[in-house]
Amino acid sequence: MQRYSRQIILPEIGEKGQEKLLNAKVLVVGLGGLGSPVAVYLAGAGVGTLGLLDSDAVELSNLNRQVIFSTEDIGKKKAAAAAQRLKRLNPDIKINEYVLRLGQDNIRGIISDYDIVVDCSDNFPTRYLANDACVLAKKPLVHGAIYQFEGQVTVIKPGQGPCYRCLFAEPPPPGSIPSCQEAGALGAIAGIIGMIQATEAIKLILGVGQPLIGKLLVFNALEMSFRKVDIPQNKKCSVCA
Amino acid sequence: MIEIVVNGNNRQMPPDASIANLISQLKVKPQVCVVEVNGKIVSRDEYCTRYFKHGDQIEIIRFMAGG
Ligand SMILES: [Zn+2]
């Protein structure tokens, strides 16, 4: 427990809170710029079971932002390389590796083993799939996304607030939004958004504070502003209504 | 002119300005954002016919999926 002594001192955590963290199971979907800090901070905090899901291998162009990987990891599967790094950081936690893409066929089975899902993916189909499956399975989902110097975070807690589709009912037309590969991505921006996602996941596990349920936190690094925008619940939402 | 609040910043608009006018001024494509007026999402087919009132709070929320 000495490993966690600095956070056990926090009155909101204590020994009881640390037990909750050690018993928690969190699935990290996507091990890119967001998933890297999410996985590192959750492992450090002692989240007892971490699922690491990504089908890709580490590439040189990932390393400006995907801080969980090192140059010698290039070519390795991200889930395996991240698991190796986290085991060195915290050998006490259990890590499950998933080298696959989430799809309709596998998502329900995978998320059923976890208490919380953190969406760190890099594409709209996965984001809508994760939202829909988490709403149906009543799993809390911590959503985060970045675009150039901006980012967004929200917490979807089925039954207690709106879902992703309440705000963004349908995906934008394919090709209308450039990916990180096309639009560019700065590591520090992904780090800020990922660390907020990790913080929200920890708050949900502990049951402390006010998670971003029904709120979209909008970050703009050029203005260096954070704003909270209300997400209205759509009474006709195709998923959560 | 009327004053509205767009993403937290005050903005002057002519009294007959619509959502379509605002997002074109801001060079935002309608298909890459969601617009809320006073906390309610406005559907895209109303952008040309939805006019602002003094004091309206507008949020233009961009679609983003990067990770
Ligand atoms: Zn919904």
Report pLDDT digits (tens) over B20-32: 999 999 999 999 9
Average pLDDT of the segment spanning A131-157:
98
Flag the least confident range among A4-13, A60-69, A140-149, A169-178: A169-178
Ligand 1 centroid, distance to A28 Cα (angstroms): 22
Does the pLDDT value for residue A47 go beyond 90?
yes
Q: Which value, to the nearest 10 degrees, does the dihedral of the CA atoms of residues A120, B9, B21, B38 take?
A: 80
pLDDT of B64:
96
What 8-state DSSP symbol labels residue A99?
-
* B2 neighbors B31 (Cβ within 8 angstroms): no
Average pLDDT of the segment spanning A189-198:
98
- Flag if B32 and A167 touch (Cβ within 8 Å): no
pLDDT of A218:
98
CA nearest neighbour of A36 among A61, A78, A67:
A67
- Flag if A151 and B64 touch (Cβ within 8 Å): yes
- Flag if A145 and B34 touch (Cβ within 8 Å): no
Which of B32, B61, B67 is opposite residue A120, by nearest beta carbon? B67
Alpha carbons A200 and A119: distance in angstroms, whole number: 12
Mode of pairing for the β-strands spanning B2-6 and B57-62:
parallel
**B2-62 placed in CATH 3.40.50.300:** no
CA nearest neighbour of A25 among A119, A128, A96, A101:
A96
Does the pLDDT value for residue A124 go beyond 90?
yes
Task: Please name the residue of chain B whose CA is at the shortest distance from the CA of residue A234.
Answer: B41
Domains contained in chain A, CATH given: 2-230 (3.40.50.720)
- Flag if B64 and A145 touch (Cβ within 8 Å): yes
> The tokens of A144 are what?
């985060």
pLDDT digits (tens, 9 = 90+) for A167-182: 999 999 888 888 888 8
Give, in order, the Cα–Cα distances in Å from A2 to each of A7, A45, A58. 10, 12, 33
Give, in order, the Cα–Cα distances in Å from A165 to each of A93, A137, A145, A171, B62. 34, 16, 15, 9, 14
CB pairs under 8 A between A and B: 76
- Flag if B65 and A216 touch (Cβ within 8 Å): no
What totals of helices (H) and strands (E) does chain B contain, helices first?
Answer: 1, 5
Q: Which residues of A touch B62 (CB under 8 A)?
A: 147, 150
CA nearest neighbour of B16 among B35, B6, B1:
B1
